[in-house]
Amino acid sequence: MSEQSEHFDPDERAAHAEKLRRAGYSEADVQREVTELEEKSATAARIFDLRRIIGGLFVVYGVIVTITGLTDDQAAIDKAQGININLWTGIGMLLLGIFFLAWLKLRPAAHPQPPLPPEAVSPEGETPRGE
């Protein structure tokens, strides 16, 4: 599945293209405008990838809770039945956050495919078969 179909619904694309045609824009203008919208949509999807947000928050909170666990006094540990719960929870949060960030780094969101030139697209919007 291409990046374009994931982030820019074909029905929306057709509707937007039809609006531009009715407004007096040429086919080249319509194609350029639709391509720009697809690129913006794909860029926004990469920027706001949930793995980045979740991973970043877990790392930040994990550092805070781990530091709290390292500086806990004996009374706080005794209150948790002898387990330094802040330390273990902080380490767990750090590991989860690092997992999400590593996942993002190893499997980034796909880049959009380069648009086809206008002459490669038939009037019906279908790509012609190879010759």
Over its length of 131 residues, how does the chain's per-residue pLDDT go in tens digits?
A: 444 444 556 677 677 777 777 777 777 777 777 777 777 666 666 667 888 899 999 999 999 999 999 999 999 999 999 999 999 999 999 999 999 999 988 887 766 565 555 555 555 555 555 54
Cα gap 50→87, rounded to integer Å: 26
User: Alpha helix locations (H) across the chain?
Assistant: 3-7, 10-22, 27-47, 50-70, 74-79, 85-106
Question: How confident is the model at residue 131, as a pLDDT?
Answer: 45
Residue 43 identity (one-letter amino acid): T
Taking only Cα atoms into account, the Rg of the chain, rounded to an integer number of angstroms, comes to 25
pTM exceeds 0.85: no
Q: Which amino acid is at 61?
A: Y
Angle formed by the axes of helices 10-22 and 27-47, nearest 10°? 140
